[in-house]
Structure formats: structure tokens, C-alpha cells
Amino acid sequence: MKQNKLFFNVGIKNTKQRNLVYDILHQSSQPITAEEIFLKYQELDEAISLSTIYRILDLFSTKGLIIKTYINENTKACFIINHHDHKHYLICKNCKKVVEIDGCPFTTYEKELEEKTSFTIQGHKLELFGLCGGCKDSLL
Amino acid sequence: MKQNKLFFNVGIKNTKQRNLVYDILHQSSQPITAEEIFLKYQELDEAISLSTIYRILDLFSTKGLIIKTYINENTKACFIINHHDHKHYLICKNCKKVVEIDGCPFTTYEKELEEKTSFTIQGHKLELFGLCGGCKDSLL
DNA sequence: ATGCAAATGCAAACTATTCGCATGTGATTA
DNA sequence: TAATCACATGCGAATAGTTTGCATTTGCAT
Ligand SMILES: [Mn+2]
Ligand SMILES: [Mn+2]
Ligand SMILES: [Zn+2]
Ligand SMILES: [Zn+2]
């Protein structure tokens, strides 16, 4: 099997399953669930065990290749390629569309808060929700 | 049983279980899970079925008496009394302490975003995480 | 090519939550 | 106060998402 630079760099083995799961995540513009990956995998006429997908997603997460997130008050975990840029999402409550927001509205706020609370702030999660342009119109 | 004004107002029956679950939520300063409620209920030498707790929490949520939230990237749902004020939380990654932040850093930001994205924004969820004062010290 | 640690597949376990159904209870009415 | 009845509860079973144990297979260093 052709060496995978990405996997080699983080010190994990190169397998057919990992390559394909990575490709699927890479081609997805939105966060996707383990089961969605499973289904896309099958569409490519390949077989994989769902537990292998979970193990791969876990590994990718700890190696920092992907981000695990619970979007949309959901019970299912979602995964997305880690582009190493800080992103937030806008989620349509009606059609569940997820739109990336660029930029982050916090710059000074976290500093203020650190002083007020004596916490050291390491990160945050911001999710905005509402109705997208399309749904707004169709719900008239 | 003494009439419960709060329950009467939202048109639901007054039961021992509902009263006690409400009290437990009311006395908790932090969001708590169904199971935590179950355990506190038992500490009061009362018995209840866990499924009844889930049904009560569901009812309280739809009646607007409480808020269901998935805090801390957690797989379990948490519940807290609805004080009808907009709150955010600061969560310690080490000890899991949850601290309320007063105020909300967004005022103009949502408007800007509506223009940029054509979404109608109806709400948002912001969670900040880091280390609390105590944990910062003890992790030296 | 060989050996071995690590990855996979499968089934079973697990956790949080929901549901069906028999029984019990609170609110309304007489 | 007693009768009524819709609705609340308890119990166990079902479900959804995820994890784990173990036998088998595979990638990679030698
Ligand atoms: Mn941000
Ligand atoms: Mn806010
Ligand atoms: Zn939409
Ligand atoms: Zn702490």
C-alpha cells in the first residue's frame, strides 16, 4: 500500500479503512456522523465494520486529524476534518443545514472574563441557530 | 395534596413526584442529569422510577419550566430551572465545575451575521471552557 | 519472506433514553 | 364525601449510539 504521509506523521498505520474514512471526511463540507460515514463507505462498494469506524474516528480525534463535536443539541457525535482554523456554525432549525461562519466574535471578551472569574480560558464553543434563507421563505 | 400554583398555571397535575423533582432542580445551582435527580430523590428516602423522571423532565421542558441542555460535550442531557434569563457557562475541564457568566457578549454580532448569511437568527449557545482557579493551582 | 504488534470484524455489552401496558392517583363532579 | 375517569406512574422491555472482548487478519520493520 502506498505510504500515507499524513498517517506516518502522526505515527499510525496505513490501512485501507483509515484511508477511505479519511477521504470521506475530507470530502464532506459538513460535520458527519459515524453512521453517515458507514453508508458512504458502502456506496463505494467497500465493506467495513461500524465499530472499526468508531475506532478510527477515536484515533483520528486523539491525533488531532479530526474534530469530534456534538452539533445541534444532538445525541449523535459528528466529525469533521481539523483544518486548524477556529470556526463556528450557524444551524438551520428547520432543514438542519450547517453554515460555517468565518471569524470569531471574541477577542477581548475572554480576557475580561478571566479577570472576573479567575478561570484560565482554554477554548469555547459557539453555536448559533435560526432559519436559513430558503426555510424562511418556504415557511410563509 | 396542597395545590401547586406553578403547575396549575401551566395546566399540569400536581403529583408527589413532580413536586419533588421540581424541588431538586430548584435547589441545584448547576445543571443536573436525570440520574443525579434520581439519586437525590432516593437520598430523601423516597422511591421513584427513572422513566418517570424522564417523563417529568420532558414535560417540564415543553412547559418551559426547565431548560434541557447538553453541556460539556457530554452524552447525557442536563436540566436546570428556567429563570428566563439568558445565561452562558464557563466549565472547568478538570473538575467539571460549571460557573454562570452574567451578560452576553453578543449584541451587534448577530445582526451583522444575519446580513452576511441571510439567516434569521433565533438563538445561540455559547460555552467557554478552561481551568478554574482551584484546579489551576493544584495542577502545578 | 518472516514475525509480531497492531488493526479489523463480529457479536455481545453498555449507557442513556424511550415506550407499552397494567395499575394507581389527582382533579372534577355529583 | 364518594364516584368517575383521564392521566401519571412503575416496571420491564425496547431502542439508539457507542464501546469492548476476542479470534483473525494485516501492515510494516527486520
Ligand atoms: Mn470563537
Ligand atoms: Mn448569549
Ligand atoms: Zn433551512
Ligand atoms: Zn476546576
pLDDT tens, residue by residue, A48-107? 999 999 999 999 999 999 999 887 666 899 999 998 887 788 877 777 778 888 777 776
Strand D contact residues in chain A (75-104), C-beta within 7 Å: 75-77
A3 touches strand D (CB under 7 A): yes
Can you give the distance from the CA of residue A76 to the C1' of nucleotide C7 in angstroms? 25
pLDDT of A126: 80
pLDDT tens-digit readout, B86-110: 778 887 777 777 888 877 877 678 8
More confident residue, A61 or B133: A61
Contact flag B73-A70 (C-beta cutoff 8 Å): yes
Query: What pLDDT, on a 0 to 100 scale, did the predictor assign at position A73?
Result: 67
Question: Which set of grid coordinates corresponds to residue A58?
Answer: 477515536
Nearest nucleotide, CA B50 to C1': D10
Global pTM reads 0.82
Class of domain A85-140: alpha beta
**Closest by Cβ to B129, choosing from A75, A90, A124:** A124
- CB atoms B124 and A129 under 8 Å: yes
Residue A11 CB-half CA count within 13 A: 2
Contacts 24+ apart (CB under 8 A), B112-117: B113/A90, B113/A101, B113/A128, B117/A90, B117/A99, B117/A101, B117/A132, B117/A133
**For chain A, what is the mean pLDDT?**
88
| H/E element, A68 | strand A66-69
Higher pLDDT among residues A99 and A24, named by residue: A24
Q: Which pLDDT tens digit goes with each residue over B39-89? A: 999 999 999 999 999 999 999 999 999 999 887 667 899 999 998 887 788
CATH number for region B1-83: 1.10.10.10
Question: Is residue A38 scored above 80 in pLDDT?
Answer: yes
The answer to whether B38 faces chain A, any CB pair under 8 Å, is: no
- Residue A47 CA and nucleotide C10 C1' are separated, in Å, by 13
- What is the nearest CA distance from A4 to chain B, expressed in angstroms? 31
Q: Which three cell numbers stand for residue A100?
A: 460555517
- Among all bound ligands, the one having the nearest atom to the CA of B95 is 4
Strand C nucleotides with an atom less than 7 Å from a protein beta carbon: 6-12, 15-20, 25-27
- Contact status of B110 with chain A (Cβ, < 8 Å): yes
CB of B125 less than 8 A from some CB of A? yes
Asked if A98 is an interface residue toward chain B (Cβ–Cβ < 8 A), one would say no
Chain B residues touching A124 at Cβ < 8 A:
126-129
Please give the residue that has the higher pLDDT: either B28 or B130.
Answer: B28
Measured in Å, residue A19 CA sits from the centre of ligand 1 at 30
At residue A121, the pLDDT reads 82
pLDDT at A114: 86
Please report, for chain B, the start and end positions of each structural domain, with discontinuous segments joined by +: 1-83, 85-140
